[in-house]
Structure formats: structure tokens, C-alpha cells
Amino acid sequence: MGGAKEAVISAASFLVFAFLDLLDFCLCFFYMFVDSVLEDNPAPCFCRNRGAAEQGMPGVDHEGNGEISETLYERRSMFRLQAVFCSNKEEGVVTKEKEKKMCRRRPRRLPRWSDCSCETCFSLPDWAGKKPEKLYFVIKETNPAAAAQVQDLCQNVIFLHGFLSSSSFWVDSVFPNISQGSNTKVKMFAVDLLGFGRSPKPVNCSYTIRDQLEGIYTSVIKEFKLGSFHIVAHSMGCILALALAAEFPDSVKSITLVAPPYFSSLEDKASHNVLNRIAERKIWPPLLFGCSVMSWYEHLGRTICFLFCRNHSMWEGIMKLLMWKGQLPSSMLDLTKHTHQSAWHTMHNVVCGGAKVMDKYLKTLKGEDILIKIIQGSKDQVVPLECSYNMKGRFPQAELQIIHNADHTTVILDRKKDFTRDLEEIWSTSSLTHKH
């Protein structure tokens, strides 16, 4: 019976994704036309040749090398070759002469016509001046009176959220449950990553790991002169947590990774391996299907973002009426607090592209006195459970805790107090053993 069910799902998946391949192929030409009409300098899509797609993007040199993931322009599609052929005829190879002409073009329209322009979603970026964007963050200060007595013992903690989330994930789960004792000794920073929540969402940005690290460093570490800190991260944030720790190994006391999407950098086409594992082209289960659509189809994903993210205020009003609530859950609001540009590039350049450098980060941290704890739910349907076991195998000194009957988010949200107590124990233990 199980084999028959899998056969039916596979056959249906083939037909559905064949149709989606065709639909995305058609939408490519639709957006190519509309962008050329509505935008002064439309950005080429990743259906086109690599040079054209990457031209002008920060973090990428003119030879196509950099932090851009191969999954952006090498995604499998039945109509892929036709799309590349048609676009290459129009764009051609990016020559030095063409490069000069592209550089003389006016800046791209801000925001794009398909993005929301409300105050939360759009702020004038200063990327043109090559200055890092200041990220939005929520800070929970220690009690001023008590802090004066334990100033030397005050610990800093940086919280990094996952994909399609924001700082509210931590503000709602951990911040209210900090014990009175820790409340006088801990200063917590919950950051909205670049492109999400209330943080800037620049158009001319590739949203690479480097872009995210620069934002965190400028907005929190440098701004508050943090000499040492702990890191707590969930899902996609775990990749950035390891990158940040590898960047500042002498400053990091502990790293708590919840549901880390770890895939070995040693595997062939590591980025493609991630895409095929966490966004497999299957119609079942529904969560996997939704992830597949948004990860594999650039133009279909942009259409969905246009319908829901650009009009998020309208949808929020409708949901409030349907749910009879004056305030919607932050997890629901966070789903639309991004642009297609930020979500699409972050998915590929951080989640998929991160697989190429994860082992390098772990190698850097092996000789450091940093406590690493890995936590994951046994019923996680987003990140395979083997990711945590593989990371433990790669980094034996890390502690691994599997929470039974918990999934990708309930591993925290259904056990907020227990999770917070675990964090406090980690911070306390690492502070006693940290030698830097």
C-alpha cells in the first residue's frame, strides 16, 4: 500500500511540476515586459545567463565568482534550456562595453512596482554610498539598579531568527520567560535580519551571508561595543550564527543552534543538495510543496509575493475580521514582512549557498573554547533530523538534545519556559568555562 501511495504522489508531482515549469516560463516573459515598461533599469531574472543576472550585484565579481549560490541560475526545469536560449539571444554575453553602459544607467526604481511601499516594508537604503544598513532589533536591558551592582557579570546574547520570521519570534517566546536572576545579568538583542521584519529591504542587494554579517556587526556588535556575547539561532539563523562565530571566535562564549540546516560541504554540488532535500519537488506533504514552489520558481514566487506581501495590509485586515481579533499572531504577520528579492536571494544565497561553507565554519571553531549546543524536534518536517546528527558527528564536542514529539517551531513555542531555562543554563555554564 505504501509503495502504491508513493507511486501516485510521484506521478502527480511530475504532472504538477511540469505545469508549474511551463507557468514560470510564461511568467518570465510577462515580467520581462512589465518591468521594462514600469522600471527605468529592470533587473534581469536568473533565467538568463549567469553574467547578466549577476551584473551589478554586490558581492559578485565580473567573473561570476563570489557568494552567489549556483541554485539561483541552475534550477532544474523542463523549459529551462528554452528560457536560457531565448534570453541569451536578447542579452548576449556581458562584455566590457556592455558593462560600461549598464553602469551608466539610472539606479533601479525604489521600491519595485511589485513590492509594498509602506513604512514597515520600505526605507530609503544607503547602499549606494556603500554604507551597511542598520538593522532593526529589540533589546531587553538588564534592570538598571541591579545592573550597576553586577556590571562585570553582565552577559550579551544575540538572537537570530529563521526564514520568513523576525525578532518577534524571540520576543514572544524567550524574553517574557527570563528568570529574575538572569534578568539582572543578561542583555538580549533580537535582530530582524536584513530583508525581513522591520529591517531594510534594499533592492540592489544579493542578501549573501556577508551582507547579513555586516548588518549584525554594524547594528549590534559595533554599536554597543560588545566584547563578548552568546548566540542563539533558529533554522536558517543557525548558518549565520556559525558564520558570525567563525568571524569573531574570541568574542563568542556559546552557540545554541535550534534545528540547524546542516549539510556537508564535502558533497558534490552542496548547494543543489540542500535545495533538493529541503525543497524537494513533491506535492505532499503540503508544507514541502509550498516550500518547493517558492524555492524553485522565481517568477511564480514573485507573483505570490505580489499578491500577498505587497497587499499585506489588506490581508491583515481581512484576517482580523475572520478571526475576530484586534491583533494577529506575530508568526502570521512575519510571513509577509519581506520582498521577493530578499526572500528569494536569502533562500538561495544563505540557506542553499551556506552548505558550501558550513564545514569551514565548524573547522574554524574546533580549536576555540566555545560551547555549542544543538537542539531539534524529533518530528521536524522542515529540516531533516539527520542534519543535527551529522553536525554532531562533524563537531563531536557539541551537545545534542532531541526533543520528542516536537516539530520545527514547537521545539521552542510549545516549551518556552523549559527552553529558556536551558538557555540560562548554557549561558551560565559557558561563562564559567570560557577562557577568552
Task: For the chain, give percent helix, strand, coil, nearest 5.
Answer: 50, 10, 40
Task: Name which residue leads in pLDDT, 374 or 288.
Answer: 374
- pLDDT at residue 416 greater than cutoff 50: yes
User: Tens of pLDDT along 226-243?
Assistant: 999 999 999 999 999 999
Residue at 134 is within a domain? yes
9 vs 128: CA distance, rounded Å:
48
pLDDT the model gives residue 215: 96
Alpha helices in 226-269, H assignment, sequence order: 236-247
Catalytic residue list: 161, 235, 380, 408
Residue at 26 is within a domain? no
Is 369 within 8 Å of 394 (Cβ atoms)?
Answer: no
Question: Which three cell numbers mark 179?
Answer: 528568570
- pLDDT at residue 323 greater than cutoff 90: no
- pLDDT category at 88 given cuts 50, 70, 90 is very low
Task: Name which residue leads in pLDDT, 215 or 433.
Answer: 215
DSSP at 151: G
User: In whole angstroms, how far apart are CA 44 and each of 19, 61, 207, 210, 353?
Assistant: 23, 17, 16, 22, 20
CATH number, position 223? 3.40.50.1820
Residue at 172 is within a domain? yes
Residue at 46 is within a domain? no
Q: For residue 140, how many C-alpha atoms fall within 13 Å in the half-sphere facing its CB?
A: 23
Residue at 40 is within a domain? no
Task: Name which residue leads in pLDDT, 430 or 156.
Answer: 156
Alpha helices in 55-174, H assignment, sequence order: 80-91, 96-104, 144-147, 168-173
Residue at 67 is within a domain? no
Residue at 325 is within a domain? yes
Q: What is the span of the domain harbouring residue 208?
A: 110-436
- pLDDT category at 63 given cuts 50, 70, 90 is very low
111 vs 341: CA distance, rounded Å:
11
Q: How many domains does the chain have?
A: 1
Residue at 55 is within a domain? no
